């Protein structure tokens, strides 16, 4: 049977020959192509929203999706070949298939516009938007190395989260006299950090919220996470329940104290610590190094490296030198990790 259109060649489908079938192909083109990107973070606007991860790749894929073709043809691929010198047209190669091994490629010049506009996430960052605030405080009223370490944990956590979630960001860090106020773009980061600190560190967590406004007809709250870190330096003299103790150190279990009234060592589980009952006195025991002369049974003979006086203490001394806290005439071991 001859082709019903040209009458020259044998019909292969729908009464048409191979050539006339391809002539019947009608590719519908998008009216124009807009490349809208954020100048601050490089995000692409694709479809109905902003894309921060693989934005250009997804934008190019969406361009190809916007082409359409009539049956029995189907678009199986496409490629952006480039723009003209003026930058107002973009050339796109479209690959069309009729049967498994019957493929044709065509190039199209489409009107092109490039726009640069800040995405909503970057507008939040520059506008100091925040959903939560983490207040990192210590026990002494001053910024300590321990507080800086905790603040760095939060900053690194948010930086890592931001790689997969642009809504996770720090909009501002305020340095105050007694600590840090870190403003978080996402409340979930505040939740995660507080739970992580409660598990890993010796600290007290207090969560509060304030009404910030109305969003989508619902009340919008901002959350504050007060993280109070136990940041005493070993050797500090502290008040606990109105009694004086020497703070000997801490471990993952809790803290080691020495009751200065009776000389007894006390271990307190971190879950049992009442931060409201602990106060810094501003006093410290000195720390001195002793040489281990001999070990016998459960005692060690030591010599002070400063004045060469010899003393005996109870307990094991594994190393050849040992550091002790000195408070008046009393000696105290350093405990913890």
Shortest CA distance to 179 belongs to which of 226, 147, 134, 133? Answer: 147
pLDDT for 5 beyond 70: yes
- Per-residue pLDDT reduced to its tens digit, 288-306: 999 999 988 888 899 998 8
Boundary of a domain, candidates 197, 229, 261: 229
Residues 134 and 225 in one domain: yes
Boundary of a domain, candidates 206, 229, 252: 229
The band of 209, judged by pLDDT with boundaries at 50, 70 and 90, is very high
- Whether the CB-CB separation of 221 and 131 falls below 8 Å is answered with no
Domain count, the chain: 3
Residues 136 and 189 in one domain: yes
pLDDT for 101 beyond 80: no
**Which of 212-216, 256-260, 277-281, 318-322 is predicted least confidently?**
212-216
Shortest CA distance to 275 belongs to which of 228, 220, 212? Answer: 228
Residues 59 and 112 in one domain: yes
Residues 263 and 224 in one domain: no
Domain that residue 256 falls in: 236-333
How many whole angstroms separate alpha carbon 197 and alpha carbon 181? 16
Boundary of a domain, candidates 59, 83, 116: 116
Strands 218-229, 132-137: pairing kind: parallel
Torsion of CA 42, 47, 50, 53, to 10 degrees: -60
How many whole angstroms separate alpha carbon 237 and alpha carbon 281? 6
How many whole angstroms separate alpha carbon 306 and alpha carbon 117? 69
Residues 245 and 326 in one domain: yes
Residues 48 and 76 in one domain: yes
Residues 156 and 186 in one domain: yes
Residues 201 and 218 in one domain: yes
- Per-residue pLDDT reduced to its tens digit, 155-200: 999 999 998 898 999 999 999 989 999 999 999 999 999 999 999 9
- Whether the CB-CB separation of 303 and 290 falls below 8 Å is answered with yes
How many whole angstroms separate alpha carbon 59 and alpha carbon 42? 12
């Amino acid at each position: 049977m001859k082709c019903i259109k040209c009458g020259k060649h044998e019909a292969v489908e729908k009464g048409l020959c191979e050539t006339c079938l391809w002539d019947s192909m009608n590719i519908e083109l998008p009216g124009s192509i807009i490349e809208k990107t954020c100048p601050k973070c490089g995000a692409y606007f694709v479809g109905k929203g902003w894309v921060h991860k693989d934005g250009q790749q997804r934008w190019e894929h969406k361009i190809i999706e916007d082409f359409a073709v009539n049956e029995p043809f189907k678009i199986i691929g496409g490629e952006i070949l480039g723009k003209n010198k003026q930058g107002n047209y973009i050339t796109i190669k479209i690959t069309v298939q009729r049967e498994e091994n019957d493929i044709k490629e065509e190039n199209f010049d489409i009107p092109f516009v490039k726009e640069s506009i800040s995405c909503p996430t970057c507008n939040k960052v520059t506008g100091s938007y925040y959903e939560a605030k983490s207040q990192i405080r210590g026990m002494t009223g001053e910024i300590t190395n321990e507080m800086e370490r905790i603040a760095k944990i939060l900053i690194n956590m948010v930086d890592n989260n931001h790689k997969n979630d642009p809504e996770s960001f720090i909009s501002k860090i305020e340095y105050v006299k007694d600590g840090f106020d870190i403003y978080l773009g996402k409340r979930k980061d505040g939740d995660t950090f507080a739970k992580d600190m409660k598990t890993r560190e010796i600290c007290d967590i207090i969560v509060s919220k304030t009404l910030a406004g109305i969003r989508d007809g619902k009340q919008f709250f901002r959350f504050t996470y007060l993280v109070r870190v136990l940041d005493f330096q070993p050797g500090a003299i502290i008040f606990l329940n109105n009694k004086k103790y020497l703070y000997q150190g801490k471990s993952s279990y809790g803290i080691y104290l020495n009751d200065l009234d009776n000389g007894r060592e006390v271990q307190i589980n971190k879950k049992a610590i009442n931060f409201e009952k602990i106060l810094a006195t501003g006093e410290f025991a000195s720390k001195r190094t002793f040489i281990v002369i001999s070990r016998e049974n459960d005692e060690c003979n030591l010599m002070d490296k400063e004045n060469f006086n010899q003393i005996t203490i109870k307990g094991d001394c594994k190393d050849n030198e040992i550091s002790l806290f000195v408070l008046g005439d009393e000696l105290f071991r350093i405990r913890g990790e």
